[in-house]
Amino acid sequence: MAKGFWELGNTGKSPAYKKQGKTRKSKGKQGKIHDAEREKLHQALAFMEQKNYKSAEVIYKDLIKEGSNHHSVFGNLAVIRYMENNIEEMIVFLKKALEVKPNYPEALNNLGTAVKEQGKLQEAIDCYRKALAIEPHYLDALNNLGTTLKEQGELQEAIDCHRKALAIQPHYPEALNNLGTALKEEGELEEAVDCYRKALAIEPNRPEALNNLGVALSEQGKLQESITIYRKVISLNEDYPTPHFNLSMCLLFFGDYENGWEEYEWRLREKGELHGQTSLKKWDELNSPSENKLILMGEQGLGDILQFMRYIPLIRKKRINVALCTLAKLHSLIRASGIATELYSPEEAHQLTTGEWLPLLSLPRHLNVRPHHPLINKSYIKVPEEKISYWKQKLSSEKRPIIGINWQGNPKTERAVLRGRSAPLETFAPITETTCASFLSLQKGLGSEQLAACKFFDRFVGCQEEINETWDFVENAAMVMNCDLVITVDTVVAHLAGGLGKPTWLLLRHIPDWRWGMAGDTTFWYASMRLFRQREYGNWQEVMHRVALALETFSPNQP
Task: Concatenate the DSSP letters of all residues of 207-259 into one string.
Answer: HHHHHHHHHHHHHTT-HHHHHHHHHHHHHH-TT-HHHHHHHHHHHHHTT-HHH
pLDDT, position 24: 31
In whole angstroms, what is the distance from residue 263 CA to residue 142 CA?
A: 36
> 10 Å Cβ neighbour count for 403?
24
Going by the DSSP 8-state scheme, the letter that residue 519 receives in this structure is S
In whole angstroms, what is the distance from residue 128 CA to residue 11 CA?
A: 13
Contact yes or no for 215/207 (Cβ under 8 A): no
In whole angstroms, what is the distance from residue 255 CA to residue 312 CA?
A: 23
pLDDT, position 41: 84
Task: Name 530's bridge partners.
Answer: 505
What's the 3-state SS for 158-188?
HHHHHHHHHHHCCCCHHHHHHHHHHHHHCCC
Contact yes or no for 487/547 (Cβ under 8 A): yes
Top CATH class, 28-234: mainly alpha
- The hierarchical CATH code for the domain 385-551 is 3.40.50.2000
Amino acid at 487: I
Q: Which residues contact 512 (CB under 8 A, 6 or more apart)?
A: 421, 490, 533
In whole angstroms, what is the distance from residue 399 CA to residue 395 CA?
A: 9
In whole angstroms, what is the distance from residue 305 CA to residue 311 CA?
A: 11
pLDDT, position 174: 94
In whole angstroms, what is the distance from residue 182 CA to residue 192 CA?
A: 8
Burial class of residue 511, CB neighbours in 10 A (0-12, 13-18, 19+):
buried
pLDDT, position 559: 58
- Quote helix, strand, coil % in the chain, to nearest 5: 55, 10, 40
In the predicted model, residues of the chain with pLDDT beneath 50 are 1, 9-11, 19-31
pLDDT in tens, 16-34: 555 433 323 333 344 455 6
In whole angstroms, what is the distance from residue 428 CA to residue 487 CA?
A: 9
What count of Cα atoms within 13 Å lies in the side-chain half-sphere of residue 373?
10
